[in-house]
């Protein structure tokens, strides 16, 4: 068997920053540090931080008084931010700056009295956080659509004041179809200033597209609840490649593999490289002849830690 490793794969700048925020908080304040929701969607990352003193909770009610609280990379609603302030909690916000951009767009449109269509997956924490930034007091409304059928069924108050934003980790191709359906149904729709699907999601999907004609089978290493990992598997399938999402090497199914197979490996933006290497080791045991890395420019995006945290770290040093 031959293996091609996609480039880029794995951690994005938002995930690196979110993990560093929890690590820094543990260094500054000591354990426990409370994190609302999984800091990023990956069990290995969560377990590692838990072993060092992070406590993961789903609601603010589970956070004791005076505890240090971190909001995950997916972002939270305005209401949760206010509740934390009202309780006087020390909050460090690890929301990815690219998710914050979408929040700001939603806030701006709400204040302008516009209506906003959010294209995204119901129940995903990022979607909940983004919906929770829309202030209806200015007369507008926000609607969640997941597919073309939702667009068909959508009724808005004023199509001339309608715009759209998207979840950052969607399939680029599927989103184009939904946006086309929105434009067809609401020809006056106001085009957003920028594309909300983030650079990391776009780059990982386009690497899978480039890889598709070189492999017979694609393994995506990523958590089952990771949106961008699921989208990578779907892109592989859409390109005609048998594609499987595995959390780690234990999920590999021997029946997938035959001799002379060309295997592609990629990883979602919240997957640590160690999990990819474990998958590779297991494949090696099955008999890999050659492993090649795709030729691609490395990503250069980095996000700074919150200034307050950097200052506290410097004082601690
Ligand atoms: S996948 Fe994109 S939006 Fe999500 S944390 Fe990474 S860079 Fe930010």
**Paired strand residues for 119:** 145, 166
Q: What is the mean pLDDT of residues 33-46?
A: 95
Same domain, 277 and 204: yes
Band (243; pLDDT cuts 50, 70, 90):
very high
Ligand 1, atom 5, lies closest to the CA of: 14
Q: What is the mean pLDDT of residues 293-300?
A: 92
Residues 131-153: what's their mean pLDDT?
98
**Residue 193: per-residue pLDDT:** 86
169 lines ligand 1 (CB under 6 A): yes
Listed residues 122, 154, 185: the one ending a domain:
185
Q: Same structural domain for residues 132 and 61?
A: no
157 and 241 share a domain? Answer: no
Same domain for 168 and 219 = no
| Cα–Cα dist 106/109, whole Å | 5
Listed in sequence order, the residues at least 6 apart from 179 whose beta carbon sits closer than 8 Å to its beta carbon are 119, 164
Question: Residue 21: its pLDDT value, please?
Answer: 98
In a domain, 127, yes or no: yes
Binned at pLDDT 50, 70 and 90, residue 297 comes out as confident
Instruction: Tell me, yes or no, whether 55 and 76 share the same domain.
Output: yes
Looking at the 3D structure of the chain, how many domains does it have?
A: 3
pLDDT above 90 covers what percent of the chain? 94
Is 241 inside a domain boundary? yes
Q: Nearest-CA neighbor of 140 among 120, 118, 112?
A: 112
**Each residue of 266-277: pLDDT tens digit?**
999 999 999 999
Q: Which domain-ending residue is among 158, 185, 212? A: 185
> Is 153 part of any domain?
yes
**pLDDT over 90 (residue 258):** no
The answer to whether residue 130 sits within a structural domain is: yes
Does any domain span residue 86?
yes
Give me the mean pLDDT over the 131-146 stretch: 98
Q: Read out DSSP for 131-196?
A: HTT--GGGS-EEEEE-SHHHHHH---S-GGGEEEEE-TTS-HHHHHHHHHHHHHH-TTPBPPSS--
| Centroid of ligand 1 to alpha carbon of 55 (angstroms) | 22
Domain finish residue from 185, 217, 240:
185
Tens-digit pLDDT profile for residues 218-238 = 999 999 999 999 999 999 999
Share of the chain above pLDDT 70, in %: 100
pLDDT band at 32, cuts 50/70/90? very high
Confidence of residue 18 (pLDDT cuts 50, 70, 90): very high
Which of 16, 20, 198 to mutate for ligand 1's pocket (most ligand atoms within 8 Å of CB)?
198
CATH label of the domain that carries residue 129: 3.40.1010.20
Whether 196 and 166 have beta carbons less than 8 Å apart is answered as yes
Query: How many angstroms separate the alpha carbon of residue 230 from the centre of ligand 1?
Result: 14
Burial 151-177 (b: 16+ CB within 10 A, else e): beebebeeeebbbbbbbbbbbbebbee
One domain for residues 175 and 228: no
Q: Which residue lies with its CA nearest to atom 8 of ligand 1?
A: 14
- Looking at every residue in the chain, the average pLDDT score rounds to 96
Residue 190 placed within a domain: no
Task: State the pLDDT at residue 103.
Answer: 98
170 lines ligand 1 (CB under 6 A): no
Boundaries of domain holding 163: 98-185
pLDDT digits (tens, 9 = 90+) for 281-291: 999 999 889 99
Q: Is residue 192 part of a domain?
A: no
Question: In which band, very low, low, confident or very high, does the pLDDT at 316 lie, cut at 50, 70 and 90?
Answer: confident
Mean pLDDT, to the nearest integer, of 97-122?
98
Is there an atom of ligand 1 within 6 Å of 73 CB?
A: yes
Q: What are 58-75's pLDDT values in tens digits?
A: 999 999 998 999 999 999
* Residues annotated as catalytic (active site), given as ranges: 126
How far does residue 32's CA lie from ligand 1's centre (Å)? 26
Q: Which residue's CA is the closest to the ligand 1 atom numbered 6?
A: 14
203 and 288 together in one domain: yes
Helix (H) or strand (E) holding 219: strand 217-221
CA distance 121 to 231: 12
Q: Is residue 39 part of a domain?
A: yes
Confidence of residue 194 (pLDDT cuts 50, 70, 90): confident
């Amino acid at each position: 068997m031959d293996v091609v490793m996609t480039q880029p794969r794995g951690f994005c700048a938002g995930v690196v920053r979110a993990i560093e925020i929890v690590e820094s908080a543990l260094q500054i304040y000591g354990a426990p540090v409370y994190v609302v929701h999984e800091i990023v969607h990956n069990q290995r990352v969560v377990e590692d931080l838990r072993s060092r003193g992070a406590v993961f909770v789903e609601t603010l009610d589970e956070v004791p008084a005076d505890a240090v609280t971190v909001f995950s990379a997916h972002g939270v609603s305005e209401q949760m931010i206010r509740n934390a302030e009202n309780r006087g909690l020390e909050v460090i916000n690890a929301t990815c700056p690219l998710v914050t951009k979408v929040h700001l767009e939603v806030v701006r449109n709400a204040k302008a009295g516009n209506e906003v269509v959010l294209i995204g997956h119901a129940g995903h924490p990022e979607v909940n956080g983004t919906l929770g930034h829309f202030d209806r007091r200015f007369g507008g409304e926000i609607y969640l659509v997941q597919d073309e059928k939702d667009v068909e069924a959508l009724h808005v108050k004023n199509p001339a004041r309608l715009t759209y934003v998207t979840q950052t980790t969607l399939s680029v191709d599927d989103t184009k179809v939904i946006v086309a359906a929105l434009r067809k149904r609401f020809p006056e729709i106001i085009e957003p200033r920028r594309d909300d699907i983030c650079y990391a999601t776009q780059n990982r999907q386009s690497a899978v597209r480039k890889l598709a004609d070189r492999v017979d089978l694609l393994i995506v290493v990523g958590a089952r609840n990771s949106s961008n990992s699921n989208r990578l598997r779907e892109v592989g399938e859409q390109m005609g490649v048998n594609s499987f999402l595995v959390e780690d090497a234990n999920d590999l199914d021997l029946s997938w593999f035959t001799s002379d197979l060309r295997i592609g490996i990629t990883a979602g933006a919240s997957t640590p490289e160690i999990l990819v290497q474990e998958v590779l080791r297991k494949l090696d045991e099955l008999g890999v002849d050659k492993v090649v890395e795709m030729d691609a420019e490395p990503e250069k995006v980095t996000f700074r830690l919150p200034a307050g945290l950097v200052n506290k770290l410097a004082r601690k040093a």
